[in-house]
Amino acid sequence: MTVRSILSGIALAFTAYLSARSLLWTLPETVERGWLLIAALVIYLPIAWLWILLPTRRRVAGPDGSVVDRGIAPPRWAVALALLAAVVVPNAAFAAVDAVGRDQPFVTWVIGGVGALMTIVMVRRRPIVAWIGTGVLVLSASVWLGPLTALSLGLVGSLVWVAAAQLITFALDRVARDAEQLSELQQAASAWQASQSGRQRERRLHVQRALHVAGPVLGRTIETGGNLRPSEKQAARLAEQSLRDELRSPRLLDDGVRAEIDAARRRGTIVMLFDEGGLEGVPATALHAIRAELAGILREATSERLIIRTSPHDEVAVTVVGRTGTAGAGADEDDVDLWREIRRSS
C-alpha cells in the first residue's frame, strides 16, 4: 500500500463524511426544496471523488529509452466540473431551505465540502482554479449567510485549508527541486571522481612507459658519466622523442603506432605528432581503426619528415603530411610528397 493510496482513502472518507451530513435534516420544517439538497449531494460527491482518483503520473519512454514517470495535469473538463461544483453546490443547498434553516449543519456542510474540494484542486497543482472556486464559495456564503456568520460556520477553516495546501505544495515542490539538484551534483561529482581516477591510471601508465623507455638509457648515462657511445646517444634521442610523443599525443598511440614511429625514426625520418583534441569523444572501436590506418601509412611512408596532426574537422580525424627536402631548398620549401587524411568512421 502506497502513501498516495492511503491519502486518497482518507480524502474519500472525509468528503463522504462531509456530504453525509446533508442527509441529517435536523429542522425538516425549514426545508422548502429538498430535491436541491439531494442535487447538491449528487453533484458534489462524484466530482470530489473524481479529483481524488484522477491519475497523477504517467509512465513514458525517456530520451535514452528508459521508462520514467511524468506528472499529469488534470484535464480541462475536470477543472470545469470543479468550478461548476463551487458555483452550484453552495447556492443549491442554501436555496433549498428558508432563512431559519440556513445555519443548520445539513446546509452549511457545503462550506467545508467545497473547501475540501478546492484543497484537493490545490494539491493537484491548479492554484488559480482553487482560489477562483474558493472565491466563489466566499461570495455565495457571504450573500446567503452574511460575512460574519459565514466565517463562524466554517468559512475560515476552508480558507485555511486551501492556503495551507498551497504552502505545503510549494514547499514540496521546492524540496523536489533541491533533491533533483542534489542528485545532479552527486552525478557530476561521481563523474568527476571517475575522470580523475581514469587520469590517475593514465598517468601511472605514462610513468611506467617512460621508465620502460628511458630507464635503461638514464641508467647507462649515470653509469658512464655521460660518456655514451654513438649508438647509445641515438637510443637516448629516440627515447626522448618517444616520451615527447606520449605527452603530446597519447590518443594517437598504441603499440602498433609506436612501433611504426620508432621504425621510421630509425630509418632517419623525422616524425612529429600534434594532438589538437580532434580525437576527443571518438569511440574505442573507431579509435582502434584510426590507429591501425595510421600505422599502415607510417609503414609505407618514405618521406624525410612526417607531420601527424589530429583534425577537429567533422569528417577528417587525422592528417598525415610527408615532406622531402630538395637540393638547395630551405625547410619551408620542402616538397610535399605525402598527404593522407584518415576519415572518421560514420
Buried b (16+ CB within 10 A) or exposed e, 312-332: eeeeebbbbbbbeeeeeeeee
List pLDDT tens digits, range 140-184: 999 999 999 889 888 998 999 999 999 998 888 888 888 888 888
Mean pLDDT along residues 87-96:
91
Mean pLDDT along residues 71-85:
87
The distance of Cα 248 from the centroid of its chain, to the nearest Å, equals 35
Q: So where are the chain's domains?
A: 3-57+67-187, 249-346
- Paired strand residues for 321: 307, 339
List pLDDT tens digits, range 118-129: 999 998 888 999
The whole-number pLDDT of residue 236 equals: 77
The whole-number pLDDT of residue 329 equals: 46
40 pLDDT above the threshold of 70? yes
What gap in Å lies between CA 176 and CA 24, rounded to an integer?
A: 44
Mean pLDDT along residues 308-330:
77
CA-based nearest residue to 296, from 323, 260, 320: 260
134 neighbors 50 (Cβ within 8 angstroms) = no
The whole-number pLDDT of residue 327 equals: 44
List pLDDT tens digits, range 181-199: 888 888 888 888 887 887 7
All 3 cell numbers of residue 263?
621504425
List pLDDT tens digits, range 208-236: 766 676 667 667 677 777 676 777 777 77
The whole-number pLDDT of residue 132 equals: 94
145 neighbors 103 (Cβ within 8 angstroms) = yes
What gap in Å lies between CA 313 and CA 278, rounded to an integer?
A: 7
* Three-state secondary structure call for residue 113: helix
